[in-house]
Amino acid sequence: MGELFGTDGVRGVAGQDLTAGLAMALASAAASVLAGTGEFAGAREAHRRPAAVVGRDPRASGEFLEAAVVAGLAASGVDAIRLGVIPTPAVAYLTSALGADLGVVLSASHNPAPDNGIKFFGRGGLKLADEVEDAIEARLRRGDGGASTRVGEMPAVAGPAGVPETGFGRVSDAAEQGERYIEHLLATLPVATLPGRSGGRTDSRAKPLAGLKIVVDCANGAASRYAPRLLSRAGADVIAIGTEPDGLNINAGCGSTSLGALVAAVLEHRADAGIAHDGDADRCLAVDADGNVVDGDQILAVLALGLKRSSRLAGDTVVSTVMSNLGFRHAMRTAGIEVVETPVGDRYLIAAMLDGKFVLGGEQSGHIIMLDHATTGDGLLTGLQLLAETVRQDRSLADLVSVMTRYPQVLITVPGVDKARVATSPAVTGAIADAAAELGDTGRVLVRPSGTEPAIRVMVEAADSAQAERLAGELVAIIRDAG
């Protein structure tokens, strides 16, 4: 992986690290590699002008970054189809559904409003492999005369010289395509008649979530116009919060990174469950009727068991990351489900799923991938399927997730340290080994650099929460000294 791309695209502080010039240059480089313009023209059909779909979350900086990306695409001979403010998974879906050569999303996902990011999807709506990102970065460097390129160090203007072979791309707006995405999600629900919540029958083709009262927190993000409408059309009685984005309040005290507001609303309205998304709606966490948080591991366990029960879990296997809770692994083993483990990042999950032809994977953070219906993590799809599972089994969410006992897990982010220095520090390496030896088979230690922030993540898992907290605190102190 090069210097620009992290685990989920290129991110930085908008206007400082992530400038309009860099956005335009990245779009031009991506057009060359993914859409077959410039020296990559042989990668596409001759004389056919390629197309890209472009979406964003409601951050204020998304407006100028979108304009820069569209300019870079059009100048490179790519038609740019602007989708407006829309969830990231919708861009992935529409990249495939509209037959586009690439998709572009302007979003920093769960990060605060000053940050933004650019991520790309290739044909079919799939995230890019490391080698493809490397090719884009290499093309970006050559566009700058071979100079070293870092976030924030691009010239104000970069792009192809002269008129592209297919002519300049045209720009169009297609916000109405968001309805196509909602229809796609609704079509993933069952078509058979299922037991109702009160012992009667409900026609799932019309209102599969009828009888459920649901609170949904849209994080003042891209889900604001989509998640409440989706759940309502599925039949739920919906109370929506975090649906007033102003460009600055995305993820601020709301959404999947701050569940307090959702817990309070679920208890106040005596709802059956709560669903929380992050800023670009590729994550989903939940809250049960008693206000207990349901994390991504628990959601993944419920969905895996549901798919296995209906003989739709390919290979009786689920894919998760190194961060998944020991309780998840134990629950899967008890159910006869194999767990394939990957590094953190939903593109690594997808790569393993495609390689093994598996259909379900996910992260503790709430990135859940259901390859039968989506090519990337989709928070709206996840919430819909989780709630549908409660109806299918006529059980409460709390009852469903009781299949998994969550081990105490301490997660600490250590900001402002030199990730390379920490990675090579003998003191840190020794402390990790000592902690792992103390835990033995009763827990785990994981220390890794963040792929989206200048920080180190520390995770300690143990049967005893006090032990986990003590060991994590000791590791954090050593990491700070080393970094």
Tokens, residue 332: 């899967």
Sign of the torsion formed by the C-alpha atoms of 432, 437, 441 and 442: negative
Tokens, residue 242: 């975090």
Contact 131, 12 (CB under 8 A): no
Q: What share of the chain is helix, strand, coil (3-state, %, to 5)?
A: 40, 20, 40
Residues forming beta bridges with residue 446, ordered by sequence position: 459
Q: How far apart are CA 152 and CA 147, in angstroms?
A: 13
Helix boundaries (H) for 101-197: 130-143, 177-186
3-state secondary structure of 209: coil
Query: What is the dihedral angle through the alpha carbons of 376, 130, 10, 425, rounded to the nearest 10 degrees?
Result: 120
The answer to whether residue 320 is catalytic is: no
Q: Is 441 exposed, middle or buried (0-12, 13-18, 19+ CB in 10 A)?
A: exposed
- Among residues 32, 107, 109, 204, which one is catalytic? 109
C-alpha distance from residue 391 to each of 154, 306, 463 (Å): 52, 12, 33
Spacing of C-alpha 381 from chain mean position: 12
Per DSSP, which regions of 210-323 are E strands? Answer: 213-217, 237-241, 273-276, 285-288, 293-294, 317-321
Neighbours of 359 (CB within 10 A): 20
Alpha carbon distance, N-terminus to C-terminus of the chain: 22
Residue tagged 């072979």 (tokens)? 165
Contact 52, 73 (CB under 8 A): yes
Tokens, residue 317: 């296997």
DSSP 160: -
Closest CA to 377 of 258, 259, 281: 281
Residues forming beta bridges with residue 51, ordered by sequence position: 79
Q: How far apart are CA 350 and CA 371, in angstroms?
A: 8
Cα R_g (the chain), whole angstroms: 23
Catalytically active residues are 109
